[in-house]
């Protein structure tokens, strides 16, 4: 469904579309993180991916909860944005043989993913607040907190790498 298709007329439609979009993205991340874990060198990056994979299962469950609270069946709409971020990461990581360069590429890709999630949950929270759905606000805020923490851990890793090479 395209964003400007006639299926989207009301704020409720728009909200549902955003929910289906992030649901697709979270499921895509859930299936991609195990591949990133395999490629990452042992250490804090891999550990971080592993713990974020656990959290991501929870993000998918929270979205399913949101669909239920809205009396909707969980469904996806394809999200070309997350597909693009992941495809680009795949293309870059494909040829890298040096593990530390690979880790830097993986961390940068993961950070792009986190930023995408942060912007989507930020929008969903704003719209849920507008719709007086505090139940959904709280649900999405719990996920947003974990996305922001994952993003901060990646920033710390990048800074640690910079300090190590300085």
Considering beta carbons, is residue 60 or 92 the nearer one to Fe ion? 60
- Per DSSP, the residues of 52-83 read HHHHHHHHHHHHHHHHHHTT--------HHHH
Does position 21 interact with Fe ion (CB under 5 A)? The reply is no
Q: How many residues bind Fe ion (CB under 5 A)?
A: 4
Nearest CA to 58 among 130, 135, 2, 142? 142
147 is a contact residue toward Fe ion (CB under 5 A): yes
Of 20 and 56, the one with the shorter C-beta distance to Fe ion is 56
- The nearest distance, CB 44 to Fe ion, in angstroms, is 16
Q: What is the DSSP string of 84-96?
A: HHHHHHHHHHHT-
Please give the Cα distance from 79 to 63 (Å, whole number). 15
Residue nearest to Fe ion (CB): 59
The one among 33, 77, 79, 117 contacting Fe ion by CB under 5 A = 117
Asked if residue 20 lies in contact with residue 64, where contact means CB atoms within 8 angstroms, the answer is: no
The site string for Fe ion over 41-60 (x = CB under 5 A, - otherwise) reads ---------------x--x-
- Interaction site with Fe ion (CB under 5 A): 56, 59, 117, 147
């Amino acid at each position: 469904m395209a964003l400007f298709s006639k299926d989207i007329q009301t704020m409720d439609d728009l909200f549902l579309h955003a929910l289906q979009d992030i649901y697709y993205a979270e499921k895509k991340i859930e299936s991609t993180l195990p591949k990133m874990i395999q490629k990452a060198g042992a250490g804090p990056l891999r550990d971080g991916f592993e713990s974020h994979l656990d959290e991501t299962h929870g993000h998918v469950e929270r979205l399913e909860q949101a669909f239920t609270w809205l009396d909707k069946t969980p469904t996806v709409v394809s999200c070309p944005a997350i597909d693009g971020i992941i495809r680009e990461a795949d293309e870059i990581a494909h040829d890298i043989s040096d593990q530390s360069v690979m880790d830097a590429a993986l961390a940068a890709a993961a950070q792009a993913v986190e930023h995408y999630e942060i912007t989507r949950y930020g929008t969903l929270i704003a719209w849920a607040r507008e719709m007086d759905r505090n139940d959904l606000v709280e649900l999405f805020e719990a996920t947003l907190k974990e996305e922001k923490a994952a993003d901060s851990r990646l920033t710390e890793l990048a800074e640690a790498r910079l300090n190590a090479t300085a």
